[in-house]
Amino acid sequence: MTRTITRRTSRLAAAGAVTLVGALLLAGCGRTDSPTGGGEGGGDAIDDSPATGTVEVWAMGNEGEVLDELAAQFEEENPDVTIEVTAVPWESAHDRIATAIAGGETPDISMLGTTWVGEFAATGAFEPTPDGLVDESSFFEGSWDTAVVDEVAYGVPWYVDTRVLYYRTDLAEKAGLEPPTTWEEYTAFTKGLQEAGAEWGVSLPPGGFDSWQYVTPLAWQQGGDILNEDGTEFTFDTPEWEEAFAFYTSFFEDGISEPRRLEGGEIESAFINGEVGAFYSGPFHVGLLLEQGGEDFADKFGVAMVPGADSRTSFTGGGNLAVFEDTENRDASWKFVRWLSEPETQLAWYDISTDLPSVQAAWDDPTFAEDPYLSVFGEQLQDSKAPPAIATWAQVSAVIDQELEKATRGDTTPADAIAAIQQQATSIGTGK
């Protein structure tokens, strides 16, 4: 009996497999080139009547925890609407959105990491931003670009994040130096911090996850870029990139930067105890340093725009909001998104979450304009850039991380590193 059963099972399994292969072969005669949904421009315009119905929103990390508070204000203004916020941990957010798209179980709105837009937009799961919903020019340019894929905007930037230079004012004073504006000054400045007592002039990651965010601005500052004008080919094998790599690795060769990656948590204590003279980070570090450094540490550090070459471009990231193609409450979803990108809402949101507004008008408020730290971020945002919204960016950027690590460790030269990046990036492609 056992034998008959096994034989039958294996026959069943074989039949199943054959059917599946057949289905795949039949259905899989190549893909259609255009993504399923979307198309050019947004759908119908969104009117100004109050929103109604239920809107499901996914938000990550801290935003997911406190968005309810803000949503309550929207519900007050629009009594017939219910906003349901689901908090999603950052670590699993990317996979969860991918799974939701695959299963057709997407929420109405989701918050997105700025570098995910290209990848998910390629699935056709997002609805293009309706014409006239928001004024494109009211956002920071670098930030708006994160929502645009092939000249179609998907959703809007919600909050922004940019890198500035944190430095020890007491050490700079001792060395008699002003915060740097050019590359030459930057090298001299960090060396000066070392002479004034810091063990390491500036902390830079020698490689590893997301270290591309530190080297790419150096290429941008000289007019280099990741893709060519029409966005079809990578441009890593250019003098700008080689120079960027050479400059970045010089900090390790000259012993200004420690060839060790400081993990979150280590950097604050190293900066507070004076081991590290300067580092790059986003706005959240102001609060962390004031909290951990104690009262008098506020006088010992400052923030400054990043030093530059032709420009002083920094990296920008943040969070976007996108509406899914198969939303059941399209109008209310976009109305909520529109409301979230109004300057007043963004100010209220800063109070709740400390996320920086993506809308420039909000920065005129004294909260930002008069704050010694935040005003620097506002200024930096005028000159900050995001990587292109291409589907393969995560993979391409990982290649930059790997080659940068080889270069800073002296295993390869800047010229070989960029050649390797160009070759691998080309074979990965832009995902079109």
Partner 1 sequence: MTALASPAAPPRRPAPRVRSSRRERRMTRTAWLFAAPFVILFLVFMAGPIVGSFLMSFTDMTTRDLQTPFQVNIVGFDNYVRLFQDPRFLRSLLNTFTFVVVAVPLTIGLALAVALALDKGIRRFRTVYRVGYYAPVVTSIVAIAIVWRFILQPDGLLNGFLAVFGIQGPDWLQSPSWALPSLIMMAVWRNIGTIMVIFLAALQGVPREHHEAAMVDGANAWQRFWNITIPAMRPAILFSTVITGIGFLQFFEEPYVMTQGGPLDATLSTAMYTYDQFGFGNYAYASAASYVLFLAIVVLSLIQFRLISRKD
Interaction site with partner 1 (CB under 8 A) = 1, 3-5, 13, 16-17, 20-21, 23-25, 27-28, 30-32, 35-36, 94-95, 98, 101-102, 104, 119-120, 122-125, 207-209, 260-261, 391-392, 394-395, 398, 402, 405-406, 409, 411, 431
Scanning the structure block, which residue is given the tokens 């929207």?
74
Q: Are 101 and 72 in contact (CB under 8 A)?
A: no
CB 306 within 8 A of CB 162: no
CB of 191 to partner 1, least distance (A): 23
Can you give the length of the chain in residues? Answer: 432
| Minimum separation from the CB atom of position 270 to partner 1 (A) | 12
Residue 381 contacts residue 316 (beta carbons within 8 Å): yes
**CB closer to partner 1 out of 54 and 92:** 92
If the CB atoms of residues 4 and 137 are measured against partner 1, the closer one turns out to be 4
Collapsing DSSP to helix, strand or coil, 432 comes out as coil
- Which 8-state DSSP code applies to residue 46? P
Nearer to partner 1, 21 or 369 (CB): 21
Looking only at the bridges linking them, the beta strands covering 53-60 and 81-88 are: parallel
Q: Which segments within 185-300 are labelled E, that is strand?
A: 278-281
Residue 185 burial (10 A CB sphere; 0-12, 13-18, 19+): middle
Compare residues 15 and 45 and give the one whose CB is closer to partner 1. Answer: 15
Beta strands 314-323; 109-113: pairing state: antiparallel
Shortest CB 340 distance to partner 1, Å:
26
Q: What are 366's two structure tokens?
A: 């004294």
Beta strands in 330-419 (DSSP E): 356-357, 384-385
Q: How far is the CB of 396 from partner 1 (least distance, A)?
A: 9
Using DSSP bridges, classify how beta strands 152-153 and 148-149 pair: parallel, antiparallel or unpaired. Answer: antiparallel
Closer CB to partner 1, 23 or 369, in the complex: 23
Interatomic CA distance for residues 221 and 233, integer angstroms: 20
Q: How far is the CB of 402 from partner 1 (least distance, A)?
A: 7
Contact indicator for 183, 309 with CB cutoff of 8 Å: yes
Q: What is the nearest approach in angstroms of partner 1 to the Cβ of residue 156?
A: 22
d(CA 260, CA 248): 14
- Minimum CB distance to partner 1 smaller for 4 or for 49: 4
Report CA-CA distances (Å) from 362 to 33, 238, 315, 359.
Answer: 41, 38, 20, 6
- Residue number with CB closer to partner 1 (35 or 61): 35
Using the structure block, give the residue that is written with the tokens 């949904």: 37
- A 10 A CB-CB count for 420 gives 19
Q: Are 118 and 393 spatial neighbours (Cβ–Cβ below 8 Å)?
A: yes
Compute φ and ψ for 159, nearest 5 degrees.
Answer: -140, 165
75 or 266, CB closer to partner 1?
266
Task: Count the neighbouring beta carbons within 10 Å of the beta carbon of residue 344.
Answer: 13
Question: Taking the complex as a whole, how short is the minimal distance between the CB of residue 80 and partner 1, in angstroms?
Answer: 31
Least distance CB 269 / partner 1 (angstroms): 13
Residue with smaller CB distance to partner 1, 119 or 243: 119
Provide, rounded to whole angstroms, the least separation between the CB of residue 353 and partner 1: 26
Q: Minimum CB separation from partner 1 for residue 412, in Å?
A: 10
Comparison of 120 and 154: residue with beta carbon closer to partner 1: 120
Q: Judged by CB, which is closer to partner 1: 239, or 265?
A: 265
Pull the structure tokens for residue 44: 């119908």
Minimum separation from the CB atom of position 27 to partner 1 (A)? 4
How many Cα atoms are found within 13 Å in the side-chain-facing hemisphere of 300? 16
